[in-house]
Amino acid sequence: MTGLRLTTKKDPKKLGSDQDWLNWKWQIQHRILGAEQLSEFISLTEPEFRSFSECEDLFSFSTTPYYLSLADRENHHCPIRLQFVPQIEELHSNPRDRVDPLEEESHMPVKGVTHRYPDRALWYLSHVCAVYCRFCTRKRKVSQSFNTPGMADWEEALLYFRNHPEIKEVILSGGDPLNLSDSKLDFLLTELKSIPHINQVRIHTRYPVTLPMRITSELCAVLKKHFPIFLVTHFNHSKELTALAKERISLLVKEGAVSVLNQSVLLKGVNDSVEALSDLFYSLTNAGIKPYYLHQCDEVFGSSHFRVPISEGVRLMKALRGRISGLSMPLYVVDLTGGGGKVPLPTDYLEEATQNSYVFKNFNGDLYEIGI
C-alpha cells in the first residue's frame, strides 16, 4: 500500500431527519465548525488540514450540512469545496491585499451604514453567515461574535436614513441579513418603507445558495407586505442551483412577489471558464433569476489564489457575448480598491473611430463600420 487509505465518509444528509434537513434553524445549529468534524464527511488533504489551524485567527470556518452535501467528497478541486474549505494559500501575503479593500469603514457615517454613493446606502445588519466564503470581502468582521449590531445601532441608522433625503435606496447586507428573524426583518422593512424619500429597498443575501430552507412561506408573506423588494443573491456555480434552491426561489417570486437577481464573483478554479459561466448564467435564468453583476474578486487579504486576471475576465465575457442570451449576461465589474465604487470593466468592441465613422468588431470577430 502507498499510504492511501480508502475511507467511507458519512453522508451529511444522514445527520438529521428529512424534517430537520428542511428546517433552517436546524441547519444553523448543526453547522460544521472544524476540520475534525468536516473530515468525517469529505477527505481533506494534509495542507487542507493544516490550513484550518493556521487560518483560524484570520477567518472562521463554517458550513451548513446542506451546502456541504453539494461538495464532492474526494475531489479536492470541487468548485463547492473551494468556496468553503480553507486553503493554505490564504496565508500567502500579496502586497496589494488589504484588510478593508473597499474602505467601507471610512465611508461609515454611523455604525453599520456605508454611504459611498450619494443616492444609496449599504446597511450591514449581521456578523453571521451560514457558510463563510473563503473569498469574503468583509472577512475583517464577518463571523465575529463581538460587537453584534443591535437595536440601538439600528435606531441610529434609521435616523440617519430619515435625515438624508438624498438616499433613495437602502441595501440590507451583512453578514447575512436573512439571519435575522422574520419579525425583525418586518420591523426594519416597515421602518424603511415609512421613510418618504426611500424609493426602493434591496436585500443582499447568500442564503438561497447556502441555506435555501430559510426561504419559507412565512418569510415570503413578510416580503410581500413590503412590495417591491429586490433580492440579490450570490450563486457562483451551476451546481449550487439545486432542486431545493430552485423551489425556494420560485416561492420567493410567487409568494413573496420578490424580484430576484444574482451577483457572482469570478473565482479561479470555481467558474473561470466559458462553460462554467454559461452554465451558471443559463441555470440562473432558468430558475427565474436575472444575472446582475459578475465581480472581479476584491483585493482582500488571503484571496489572491482566487483572483483571475482582469484581461482573462474580459476575454471570458467577450466569448460569452453573442454566444448566450443578452438576458442571461451580467455586467462584469470591479469594486475599486480604495473605496472608489464599482466600475464596469471594458469589454470594448470599438476597433477604430474616425471623424465620421466607427468600426466595431462583432461577437464573431467580423468588422463592421457605422456612421456617427
Ligand X SMILES: *Cc1c(COP(=O)(O)O)cnc(C)c1O
Question: Which residue do the cell numbers 470593466 mark?
Answer: 345
Looking at residues 168 to 187 of the shown chain, list those that interact with ligand X (rule: CB under 6 A): 171
Cβ distance to ligand X smaller for residue 116 or 139: 116
Q: Indicate which single residue of 122, 188, 203, 261 sits in contact with ligand X (rule: CB under 6 A).
A: 122
Q: How far apart are CA 214 and CA 178, in angstroms?
A: 8
Mapped onto helix, strand or coil, the DSSP state of residue 253 is: helix
Q: Which does 134 bind (CB under 5 to 8 A by kind): ligand X, ligand SF4, none?
A: none
Burial 75-101 (b: 16+ CB within 10 A, else e): eeebbbbbbbbbbbebeeeeeebbebb
Name 169's bridge partners: 120, 200
Please calculate the CA angle 354-360-366 and round it to the nearest 5 degrees. Answer: 130
113 versus 270: smaller Cβ distance to ligand X: 113
Q: Which residue is it, cell 426594519?
A: 188
CB of residue 116 to ligand X, shortest distance in Å = 4
Q: Which is nearer to ligand X, 31 or 116 (CB)?
A: 116
The reply on whether position 125 binds ligand X by CB under 6 A is no
Return the range that interacts with ligand X (CB under 6 A); candidates 13-21, 117-125, 211-219, 243-251: 117-125
Residue 135 CB, shortest distance to ligand X, in Å, is: 16
Cα atoms in the Cβ-side hemisphere of radius 13 Å centred on 278? 13
Please state, in angstroms and rounded to a whole number, the distance separating the CA atoms of residues 121 and 171: 6
Pick the stretch among 46-54, 132-140, 161-169, 332-340 that binds ligand SF4 (CB under 6 A).
Answer: 132-140
Write out the catalytic residue numbers. 116-117, 120, 129, 133, 136, 138, 298, 335, 342
Closest distance to ligand SF4 from the beta carbon of 175 (Å):
6
The rounded distance, in Å, linking the Cα atoms of 116 and 113 is 9
Using the rule CB under 6 A, give the single segment among 43-51, 98-106, 128-136, 331-339 that binds ligand SF4.
128-136
Q: Which residues bind ligand SF4 (CB under 6 A)?
A: 129, 132-133, 136, 138, 142, 174-176, 206
